Amino acid sequence: MQAAIDAARPQLTALTAEIRQLDDLVRRAAAVRENIDAVNADITKANGSCSRPTDRVVARCQQYNALATSHDALVAEHSSVVAHRNRLAGEHNALVESIYELIETLSWVR
């Protein structure tokens, strides 16, 4: 039983790492969203609008457009991997449950 637990741990570690990497897309998109909100606040403070930018907000509007493009790309990438991430999470949860059962059985044997 201990050998089965020891054999499952590297797989669990690999699944955890891959899930975290996929979850990082959400964190990155959230960080870009925060930057978009800050740029929007600056544009609003300058009484500007990107639909008709004045000289005072042109640079901020360009920054907004670049951030929006980046955010859209991150969201699209995340959307494309959601099913894979969920499958990995299911594998992870099943493996954790299996390891816990082995540990519990092992503790009863000892």
Classify residue 94 by burial, with Cβ atoms within 10 Å: 0-12, 13-18, 19+. exposed
Q: pLDDT (tens digit, 9 = 90+) per residue, 49-88?
A: 999 888 999 999 999 999 999 999 999 999 999 899 999 9
More confident residue, 5 or 64: 64
Per-residue pLDDT, 4? 86
Q: Name the pTM for this structure.
A: 0.69
Mean pLDDT of 4-9: 88
**109 pLDDT higher than 80:** no
Q: Which residue has the tokens 């979850």?
A: 23
More confident residue, 7 or 109: 7
Per-residue pLDDT, 110? 67
The closest alpha carbon to 15, from 3, 5, 23, belongs to 23
Q: pLDDT (tens digit, 9 = 90+) per residue, 23-45?
A: 899 999 999 999 999 999 999 99
